[in-house]
């Protein structure tokens, strides 16, 4: 990426100070209009770029993760325009072949950008470099690279084997059957699925999943969007997928991005903790995002949930029950449950969340460290977390590890001042929320204001 485009991404960031102090808030009630889904935005951008025809995307997420995808597509020769003053974009598809065959692409820390782009670029072949922030170079990508190189692509590690940066050369595809491990990140399977139509010209492509697949609902998002762009996939459960030969990406014309269900979790939890009612608009019972199932966990904790096609509302009597559940299907929203657990009537256990260790930071370790600062007793297992709420929460300075979800989650420790359960929290380096929700703290503050009116 050129210095100029790096500059643009930097300027797009909302600038928060070095820390934000949040004082106890009594009740959180009101209505929040959600920003667009990160998972849907980045998939849609890439599919629109690969499609034949022009796609108009409504309500794309404005954030670091989508900016790196937009800038990468531009460098790859894709023309797109943003309608002034809106989050609506027109993307002119390349019909399966990027016009530019040489590029140096900065991927920030966006898993939804680097993984699918690696697969698509490797399938086409060329001379491409993909790199990101320091943490991106610690996030595994080896399972994806191995799956692709085994059928003839040429992806090389330019740093540490198994991790970005990567250099993609021109390979020679000699097989149509891929195998990929699914237990580190579902994004590897998503990436192969998205690149498969580029390989299935004359023969079908098959993908076998080796071992367990984590984060399964994200594969449903991928399959749903592939279908909207004209690609049908045959499947045998979560074990194997076949992309029939001769299908090309076709623009659906117009596509609308739902609100982000993971971002919804902070407000929904706020309603459950303080009583609410709290409503989010932009996702509802018709959502294609697995993270809407976050409300099942809140319901299990005793909250009341109502849902329309495009909204979700949470209220409660302010008493939350402890929970012991498997959160493999909603790894991102599960972090919000770890904070809701501070307000529960006993110890809560979050199971099957080993993938937390390879995300924006080691989230199991970070979460345990920061929850303890508030006075909670925390047991950190290899793949689980047990949180025992403190008798009274202690004021704390929370470190965020350049992880947007750490910053957003811990804002909830300030809630329920009415019941004297919330505390003053200082959130260090809050600008990290720019990854998926650049004005999160403004929206959070407005909610507290709405409540006071």
Ligand X SMILES: C=C(OP(=O)(O)O)C(=O)O
Interface with ligand X (CB under 6 A), residue from 30, 111, 252, 438: 111
Tell me the H-state helices in 108-216. Answer: 111-124, 142-149, 187-199
Helix (H, G, I), strand (E, B) or coil at 64: helix
Assess 336 for contact with ligand S3P (CB under 6 A).
Answer: no
- Asked if 332 is an active-site residue, the reply is yes
For residue 95, give every residue at least 6 positions away whose Cβ sits within 8 Å of its Cβ, in sequence order, or none: 50, 51, 52, 248, 249
CB 430 within 8 A of CB 452: no
Q: Which of 64, 332, 399, 429 is catalytic?
A: 332
Assess 329 for contact with ligand X (CB under 6 A).
Answer: no
Give binding residues for phosphoenolpyruvate as ranges: 38, 111, 139, 187, 363, 405, 435
Going by their DSSP bridges, the two strands 278-281 and 311-315 should be labelled as antiparallel
Strand partners, 259: 36
At 93, list the tokens. 């598809």
Judged by CB, which is closer to ligand X: 41, or 414?
41
Shortest Cβ distance from residue 112 to ligand X (Å)? 4
DSSP secondary structure of 241-303: EEE-TT---B--SEEEPPBPHHHHHHHHHHHHHH---EEEES--TT---GGGGHHHHHHHTT-
Q: Strands, DSSP E only, in 361-446?
A: 377-380, 385-388, 396-398, 425-428
Interface with ligand X (CB under 6 A), residue from 332, 370, 399, 416: 332
Assess 215 for contact with ligand S3P (CB under 6 A).
Answer: yes
Q: How far apart, in whole angstroms, are the C-alpha atoms of residue 215 and residue 218?
A: 6
Assess 359 for contact with ligand X (CB under 6 A).
Answer: yes
Interface with ligand S3P (CB under 6 A), residue from 355, 400, 411, 423: 355
Assess 196 for contact with ligand S3P (CB under 6 A).
Answer: no
Shortest Cβ distance from residue 448 to ligand X (Å)? 25
Judged by CB, which is closer to ligand S3P: 315, or 355?
355
Judged by CB, which is closer to ligand S3P: 6, or 293?
293
Judged by CB, which is closer to ligand S3P: 183, or 250?
183
Give binding residues for 3-phosphoshikimate as ranges: 38-39, 43, 185-187, 215, 332, 359
Q: Which residues are catalytic?
A: 332
């Amino acid at each position: 990426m050129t210095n100029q485009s790096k500059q643009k991404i930097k300027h797009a960031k909302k600038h928060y100070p070095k820390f934000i102090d949040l004082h106890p808030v009594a009740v959180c009630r009101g209505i929040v209009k959600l920003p667009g889904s990160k998972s849907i935005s980045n998939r849609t951008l890439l599919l629109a770029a690969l499609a034949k025809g022009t796609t108009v995307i409504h309500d794309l997420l404005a954030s670091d993760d989508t900016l790196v995808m937009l800038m990468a597509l531009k460098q790859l020769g894709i023309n797109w325009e943003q309608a002034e003053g809106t989050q609506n974009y027109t993307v002119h598809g390349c019909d399966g072949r990027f016009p530019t065959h040489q590029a140096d692409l900065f991927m920030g820390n966006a898993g939804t950008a680097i993984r699918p782009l690696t697969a698509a670029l490797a399938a086409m072949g060329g001379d491409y470099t993909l790199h990101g922030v320091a943490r991106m170079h610690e996030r595994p990508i080896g399972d994806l690279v191995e799956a692709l190189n085994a059928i003839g692509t040429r992806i090389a590690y330019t740093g540490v084997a198994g991790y970005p940066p990567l250099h993609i050369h021109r390979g020679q595809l000699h097989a149509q059957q891929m195998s990929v491990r699914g237990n580190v990140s579902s994004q590897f399977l998503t990436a192969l699925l998205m690149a498969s139509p580029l390989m299935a010209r004359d023969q079908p492509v098959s993908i076998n999943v080796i071992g367990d697949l984590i984060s399964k609902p994200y594969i449903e998002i991928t399959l749903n969007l592939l279908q909207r762009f004209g690609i049908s996939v045959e499947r045998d459960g979560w074990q194997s997928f076949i992309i029939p030969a001769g299908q090309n990406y076709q623009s659906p014309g117009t596509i609308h991005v739902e609100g982000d269900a993971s971002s919804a979790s902070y407000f929904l939890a706020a309603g459950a903790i303080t009583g609410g009612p709290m409503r989010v608009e932009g996702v509802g019972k018709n959502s294609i995002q697995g993270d809407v199932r976050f409300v099942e966990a809140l319901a299990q904790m005793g909250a009341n949930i109502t849902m329309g096609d495009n909204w979700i509302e949470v209220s409660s009597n302010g008493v939350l029950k402890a929970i012991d559940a498997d959160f493999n299907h909603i790894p991102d929203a599960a972090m919000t449950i770890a904070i809701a657990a501070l307000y529960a009537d006993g110890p809560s256990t979050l199971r099957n969340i080993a993938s937390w260790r390879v995300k924006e930071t080691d989230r199991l370790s970070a979460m345990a460290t920061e929850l303890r600062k508030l006075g909670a007793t925390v047991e950190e297992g290899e793949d689980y977390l047990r949180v025992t709420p403190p008798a009274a929460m202690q004021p704390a300075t929370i470190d965020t590890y350049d992880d947007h979800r750490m910053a957003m989650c811990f804002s909830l420790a300030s809630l329920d001042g009415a019941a004297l359960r919330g505390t003053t929290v200082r959130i260090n380096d809050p600008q990290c929320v720019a990854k998926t929700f650049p004005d999160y703290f403004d929206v959070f503050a407005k909610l507290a204001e709405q409540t006071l009116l």
